[in-house]
A and B are shown apart, each in its own frame.
Chain A
């Protein structure tokens, strides 16, 4: 079945550092891809998405590009803030079911 693999955390960065969180997927066909974020004490919320190869999703300074050739959807941000501290989940939409990765915790210090 479909699966999503994320880099393990926690990822610890200083404010204004560059962020990359790796995500790769295994799926039959070409699923839509998503990044969800879970801030402390809150529910998951959609951060960005891409629906086809070479699409770039972006929101709140975060970006991710759908790379069919490497089956990847890495999350990037040029300059992180303390408020970006959260758990980030990569997900793939295969056969009408959303499959999540295990999540990567990001800790940003001042």
Chain B
């Protein structure tokens, strides 16, 4: 069964360091999402891509976060510099072309701990 791949699964870093997360969506899925899930809360959308274009990055803290999906396939989310409050699970999800925007396929997530 096709899955959304994410790496690394776990990342521990010190504040002010740079960190990057990678996501490979299900093959053929045109829409890719990055969500942040703080412990005890629901996922919150950071950025949405349609192919290689950003559709919504209104909740992305652009002073320190960046995201790209250069060839419209896999994607990278970067944080620089990391802050203590960035400790969270970073989730990647995708949906197929023409799919229901509410029916997301999630990866297992990348858990970030900032010390």
Complex CA distance for A45 and B109, rounded to whole angstroms? 12
On A, residues with C-beta under 8 Å from B are 4, 32, 34, 41-46, 49, 89, 91, 93, 96-98, 100-103
Complex CA distance for A41 and B109, rounded to whole angstroms? 9
Question: Contact: B41 with A102, CB < 8 Å?
Answer: yes
Interface set, chain B 36-71, CB cutoff 8 A to A: 40-45, 48, 55-56
Known A43-B4, A43-B91, A43-B107; judge A103-B101 contact (CB<8 A).
no
Chain B residues with CB under 8 A of A93: 100-102
Which of A44, A49, A96, A102 touches B106 (beta carbons < 8 Å)? A44
Known A43-B108, A44-B91, A102-B40; judge A32-B102 contact (CB<8 A).
yes
Shortest C-beta distance, A8 to chain B (Å), equals 10
- Give 15 A-B contacts (CB < 8 Å), ordered by A residue: A43-B4, A43-B106, A49-B100, A89-B42, A93-B102, A96-B101, A97-B45, A97-B48, A97-B56, A97-B101, A98-B102, A98-B104, A102-B40, A102-B41, A103-B42
On B, residues with C-beta under 8 Å from A are 4, 40-45, 48, 55-56, 91, 93, 100-104, 106-109
Interface of chain B: mostly helix, strand, loop or mixed:
loop
Complex CA distance for A89 and B40, rounded to whole angstroms? 11
Shortest C-beta distance, B89 to chain A (Å), equals 9
Complex CA distance for A16 and B45, rounded to whole angstroms? 36
Chain B residues with CB under 8 A of A45: 106
Shortest C-beta distance, A16 to chain B (Å), equals 29
